[in-house]
Chain A
Amino acid sequence: MFGLTKRDTTLLLVVAVLTIFAPFILNPFPEGSAMAQFNAGYPDLMQRLVIFGIFAIGFNILFGLTGYLSFGHAAFLGVGSYAAIWMMKLLTMNVIPAIMISVLVAGLFSLLVGWISLRRSGIYFSILTLAFAQMSYSLAYSVLTPITGGETGLQPKVNDPRILDAALTEGQNPRANLFGLEMGTSYEMAVGGWIFTFNAGYYIAAIVMLLAFYLSIRIFRSPFGMMLRAVKSNQQRLNYTGLNAKPYTLAAFVISGMYAGLAGGLLVAMDTQVGAERMFWTASGEVVLMTILGGAGTLIGPVLGAGFIKYMENIVSKINKTVLEQWFAFMPDGIEDFFITIVYPFVGKGWHLTLGLLFMMVVIFLPGGLVQGGQKVAGLFKRKKPVDDKPDGKTTPAE
């Protein structure tokens, strides 16, 4: 179906079902219960989960397939965001032009950065991309302030030109919308003790994510995708086989840059603001973590990794001392204090510590990321059939 093999179609459908029912799946605990803070089914977080999923899917096309490790992809996300916000200021609050221009501008910028950075490979390539991203970050903070808003960043203002939109009446705020449907529109459904939120912005971002995911499957399975894997495997052999590795890697770089720009545009579509910190090197590092944590070079890995990290960032970081006290309240006093003292450094502001430990364990024990973990677990349940002897003779490295 959709020009995919049966296996890939199944994967796509599973992801589609999971994203459509995410408001239920991410809200398993009734409102007001002790576990309710593990609920992730609120619009802001769900939007971030799919948007960073897009970012990681794109990053994986470069890093997962070619092995070229970029440390500067947040720059493309940031540039996409700035482009989108300017569309909202100048043209219309409709998100379509904003998102389209963010992809375009990020694509052009990544063409320039890729053209220069791809003159080197390995660590030198990584350093070049990092340098570009940090340059963009400082420029956004300093000389480019007229375009970027410097430290305060940018937001749509009531008196922006917005030539396509009707003038706002007194007291009205500019709101991002899709032909009138506002991104913030939510429908809440109460079932028993549960409240499920269905948000327009989330579903729009989710549809874009599914399209982006579908496209990445097509790219993975295409001759182009195969060439990218060949670049990673043996670039020398590729060159002596009459293929020019440079345009292949550059195309992968630009495609992943466009994915990053798309994510940046969607972020703006959801919360209509942007600041330079979006381009800081830690943001570039985060997408590397997402991809490796989930499983670089696999189809679904980056989405899992992005979801995992964003979930932790938003949920684990909110667990504070009071919450811990509630959890361990059933214990005798001395033991309660002991447990709280041990757990406390790993939650709240310490969530990075938990993430770091997890990341280390994954890299050491599951070099293939969470996807490999899943495969191992699945392997325990059914005796694994060898993947090598499929009739079409194609090994599928990606899940």
Chain B
Amino acid sequence: MGILEVKNVGKRFGGLQALGDVNLSVAERTVHAIIGPNGAGKSTLLNCLVGKLIPDTGSVMFDGQSVLGRRPHEINQMGISRVFQTPEIFGDLSVLENMMIPCFAKRDGAFELNAISSVMSQKDVVERARHMLDEMNMADKQGMHASSLSRGDKRRLEIGMCLSQEPRLLLLDEPTAGMARADTNNTIDLLKQISEERDITIAIIEHDMHVVFSLAERITVLAQGTPLVEDTPDNIKGHPKVREAYLGETQTAA
């Protein structure tokens, strides 16, 4: 049994069947990529995992527990962190503060009325946030307003924020989109290192095949809301169905 078990999940938006009948099993401590043409339903699937959407049918189990019906912060506290397709950070806060918030969430849980002591006196959190920024090569930017970061830096910050929580399952929705080549390679190295060193499972959605084939141990191809195939990267590369799905991309996207 995988750490994440998605069974018969379906989701319909009005007349559009965004997810048909999705079955997916992600094994613990692996990197599992989900690929597919635009509009295939990849982000919708992630939304069903983190409590943003409730699927019409099916079940989602994380580590033997159902996530359906739980609220986003509860699911996160179970150990699932998500990086969004468009960077979601706290634009009005400094980079350091951005990094401290997940550290507080990890230390204090979903709510803590800590209204008198100053933020900077929380040495453990400050330390941890600085360390994390170091690891993301962003230490020099800690005083900046997060909204003034470049798109690639916003992404890296968001990835760092998720990693600082030490999630058991990390969901990445196109984490390298908008990054320069060098940053993309740094991110690949970082994710590789993390997945080797830590007790972490990664599910990654990515259009950049270089990223996919550098990281993934298993790949699921999703097209029009249904998984076409699931296999190892080597087998996926030459798979006729995959080629077909990608060649037909312009049609499915329309």
Contacts and interface: CB of A to CB of B under 8 A. Distances in A.
Nearest to A218: B116
Contact of B50 (A237, A240, A392): A240
Contacts of B112: 223-224
Contacts of B143: 388-390, 393-395
What 10 A-B pairs have minimum CB-CB distances, sorted nearest first? Answer: A242-B76, A224-B115, A242-B105, A233-B92, A393-B143, A393-B142, A233-B90, A244-B110, A239-B72, A237-B88
Nearest to B50: A240
Contacts of A247: 111, 113
Contacts of A395: 94, 143-145
B128 interface: no
Interface in B85-139: 88-97, 100-102, 104-106, 108-120, 122, 125
B94 A221 contact: no
Given A222-B115, A222-B118, A242 B77 contact: yes
Contacts of B118: 3-5, 218, 221-222
Given A218-B116, A221-B118, A234-B90, A226 B100 contact: yes
B119 A242 contact: no
Contacts of B110: 242-244
B113 A224 contact: yes
A179 B100 CA distance: 47
B90 A223 contact: no
Chain B contact-residue range equals 35 or more
Given A236-B88, A389-B143, A221 B76 contact: no
Nearest to B96: A393
B142 A222 contact: no
B71 interface: yes
A233 B115 contact: no
Majority secondary structure of chain A interface residues (helix, strand, loop or mixed): helix
A232 interface: yes
A222 B90 contact: no
A244 B73 contact: yes
Nearest to B143: A393
Contacts of A390: 143
A388 B144 contact: yes
A393 B129 CA distance: 12
Interface in B155-176: 161, 165
A226 B98 CA distance: 10
Contacts of A174: none
A309 to B, nearest CB: 27
B76 A234 contact: no
B92 A397 contact: yes
A347 to B, nearest CB: 40
A233 to B, nearest CB: 4
A243 B165 CA distance: 12
A107 interface: no
A41 interface: no
B82 interface: yes
Chain A contact-residue range equals 35 or more
A393 B143 CA distance: 4
Given A221-B119, A393-B94, A242 B111 contact: no
A342 to B, nearest CB: 43
Contacts of A3: 117-118
Interface of A: 3-5, 218-219, 221-227, 229-230, 232-234, 236-245, 247-248, 251, 255, 388-390, 392-395, 397
Contacts of A397: 92
Contacts of A242: 73, 76-77, 102, 105-106, 109-110, 165
Contacts of B95: 393
B90 A237 contact: yes
22 contacts: A219-B115, A221-B119, A222-B115, A222-B117, A223-B104, A223-B112, A224-B115, A229-B92, A230-B90, A239-B73, A240-B82, A241-B73, A241-B102, A241-B165, A242-B73, A242-B77, A242-B102, A242-B110, A388-B143, A389-B143, A393-B94, A394-B94
A221 B115 CA distance: 8
Contacts of B113: 224, 247, 251
Given A3-B118, A237-B89, A242-B102, 11 more contacts: A219-B116, A223-B112, A224-B112, A226-B104, A234-B89, A239-B73, A240-B88, A242-B109, A245-B73, A247-B113, A255-B115
Contacts of B97: 226, 229-230, 394
Contacts of A232: 92
B111 A243 contact: yes
Contact of A222 (B77, B102, B119, B125): B119
A33 to B, nearest CB: 47
A308 B145 CA distance: 31
Contact of A234 (B88, B102, B109, B145): B88
A234 B91 contact: yes
B92 A241 contact: no
A259 B112 CA distance: 21
Contacts of A244: 71, 73, 110-111
Given A222-B118, A234-B90, A389-B143, A241 B76 contact: yes
